[in-house]
Amino acid sequence: METEVLIIGGGVTGTGLARDLAFRGISCIVLEKDMINSGASGRNHGLLHSGARYVSSDLVSAMECKKEGDILKKIAPHCIEETGGLYVATRNDSEDYISLFPQLCKKAGIPCQELSVKDALELEPGLSNDIVAAFRVEDASVDPFHISLENMNQAIEYGARYFSHCKVTKIITGSKAIQKVVVKDTANKKIFDIESKIVVNASGAWAGEIAKLAGIHVDMIYSKGTLLITHNRITNHVINRLRIPSDGDILVPGGTVSIFGTTSRRVHTLERIQASIEETDSLVREAKAILPELENTRYIRAYAGVRPLINEKDSQENSSGDDRAVSRGFSLMDHKEDKIDNFITITGGKMTTFRLMAEKTANLVAKKLKNTQKCQTALRPLQSKAPSQMTEAGISFKSWTKKHDKDDIIMCECEMISKNQFKHLISWLKKSKKEAGLNALRIHSRLGKGACQGTFCCQRVTGLMYDEAYLKEDDGIHNIKDLLHERFVGQRPILWNGQLSQAELSEALYCGFYGLELTK
């Protein structure tokens, strides 16, 4: 295979870069070793930062978040819910920080309005009565899968190519340039080469490993963060605890659920990144200070991701193993300086700033290719022609039935996804020949993401996949097993009360009917 630009990594940065290059008429291929958003892009909080979180630690990142957040709200409103955000402090939080916060926001150009405690409680009645200060900011909630899928689909409409389950295993370099990249297709067990004028390493936390394949050292820090998903939506606003960033201080409403987190623990490998019971317990302990309901609510899932952070000379882990002091800025490296002219690394940053990261990278690529087209990604809607696959936030049965065909039925009650929506998606996946099966439907929709974690919907949808000739022979049972295993990993650390009963039911159903073992 040949292309002008080979992008390694199908997260929000790699897919955003593909969109930017495709608009400039530059041909590109995106390679992803698993599925789209398998890295940090599918394992984050879903917070479109107003920038306020970084005003004390990283002014540049704060300002970038503000600017990029505003752009994304304009170009991708269908992926974003403009919830607004509140910063609230408790008696135990630093008074100095509370009084400094509005000034720091002002300095960064981030709108921040002081509220009385009474007004804050009226806006969000679930907040603790013990809060002593509140500010309103422009935080929002974003669906990271929707963003990356739109990026990639739109790039494909403009000529880009995308391959999932394709892992870069070797980089062959000649004098001063990469000659070819060796790729293992793990789904079809094939090995193939790609020759490309330029190779971009957009592999997030794996950036050091990819650079090493080309003989280059990129020093990364792995900071693991764990998040918990509640079975319902707890608040309408994003709720932040007003203190220097720490564990368990953000709650983000996302569709029908809320996501609470996060932790920051230094880890030394990217293998088996999973939420631990210790982190889960510590998050639940922290939660009640700002939202008492979080102590007893039902959690349906815990998950963890690794932040791609660059190890700068003074990046010290603090005594609690927390890497929050390390910059959230991004790093664009032209490896011409390492004597490989056609190799670039882009890593670090935030999901909120992905478009800017892609723009800076594409500018460098265009310069190298002598392409004079300007970046268009801030001006053009981030919306592909592919069907919209996401359920609306908090959609009720009543409003759903009003809006949908009379002959349609619901297959996933937790997330209100109908048979026709799944049929539409299956036919699109069949045509696009991308990922296949139940897990692919999960990536492209909210299947298995609600309170039942796949217990009821996954067998119904498997039946539909057979009806639509999307599965053959005993594929169905393997699909169910893979999906339930994947869901079980996220349930294990939060198995108490309601979710324990749910997991027992799921186990009884699948072990009893299908003889499956639900452990991994």
Ligand X SMILES: Cc1cc2nc3c(=O)[nH]c(=O)nc-3n(C[C@H](O)[C@H](O)[C@H](O)COP(=O)(O)OP(=O)(O)OC[C@H]3O[C@@H](n4cnc5c(N)ncnc54)[C@H](O)[C@@H]3O)c2cc1C
Does position 11 interact with ligand X (CB under 6 A)? The reply is: yes
Task: Give the residue among 280, 284, 244 at the shortest CA–CA distance from 265.
Answer: 280
Taking CB under 6 A as the criterion, the residue among 67, 167, 336, 481 binding ligand X is 167
Taking CB under 6 A as the criterion, the residue among 7, 205, 438, 489 binding ligand X is 205
Total of chain residues touching ligand X, rule CB under 6 A: 41
Query: Which range of residues in 4-12, 103-111, 378-386, 432-440 is near ligand X by CB under 6 A?
Result: 4-12
Tell me which H or E stretch contains 421: helix 419-432
- The least distance separating ligand X from the CB of residue 204, rounded to whole angstroms, comes to 2
- The least distance separating ligand X from the CB of residue 517, rounded to whole angstroms, comes to 27
Q: Which residues of 174-193 are buried (b: 16+ CB within 10 A; e: fewer)?
A: eeeebebbebbeeeeeeeee
Does position 40 interact with ligand X (CB under 6 A)? The reply is: yes
Taking CB under 6 A as the criterion, the residue among 136, 301, 335, 350 binding ligand X is 350
Taking CB under 6 A as the criterion, the residue among 203, 230, 391, 491 binding ligand X is 203
- The least distance separating ligand X from the CB of residue 396, rounded to whole angstroms, comes to 27
Identity of the residue, 108 or 351, whose beta carbon is nearer to ligand X in the bound complex: 351
Query: Which range of residues in 34-42, 118-126, 413-421, 506-514 is near ligand X by CB under 6 A?
Result: 34-42
Taking CB under 6 A as the criterion, the residue among 3, 5, 28, 39 binding ligand X is 39
Measuring CA to CA, how many Å separate 145 from each of 386, 393, 425?
14, 15, 15
Q: Is the peptide bond before 262 cis (omega within 30 degrees of 0)?
A: yes
Report d(CA 422, CA 413) in Å as an integer: 13
Binding mask 280-309 for ligand X (x = CB under 6 A): -------------------------xxxx-
Enumerate the β-bridge partners of residue 29.
6, 161
Does position 351 interact with ligand X (CB under 6 A)? The reply is: yes
168, 210 contact by CB (below 8 A)? yes
Report d(CA 338, CA 341) in Å as an integer: 8
Identity of the residue, 257 or 452, whose beta carbon is nearer to ligand X in the bound complex: 257
Identity of the residue, 349 or 437, whose beta carbon is nearer to ligand X in the bound complex: 349
72, 52 contact by CB (below 8 A)? no
Interacting residues of 259 by C-beta distance below 8 A, sequence separation 6+: 45, 46, 227, 228, 229, 230, 251, 252
Q: Which residue has the tokens 């990144």?
A: 273
Query: Which range of residues in 79-87, 171-179, 201-209, 401-409 is near ligand X by CB under 6 A?
Result: 201-209
Does position 70 interact with ligand X (CB under 6 A)? The reply is: no
Report d(CA 59, CA 108) in Å as an integer: 7
Tell me which H or E stretch contains 504: helix 497-514
Taking CB under 6 A as the criterion, the residue among 102, 208, 225, 245 binding ligand X is 225
Chain positions contacting ligand X, by CB under 6 A: 8-14, 31-34, 38-41, 43-47, 49, 167-168, 202-206, 210, 225, 227, 262, 305-308, 347, 349-352
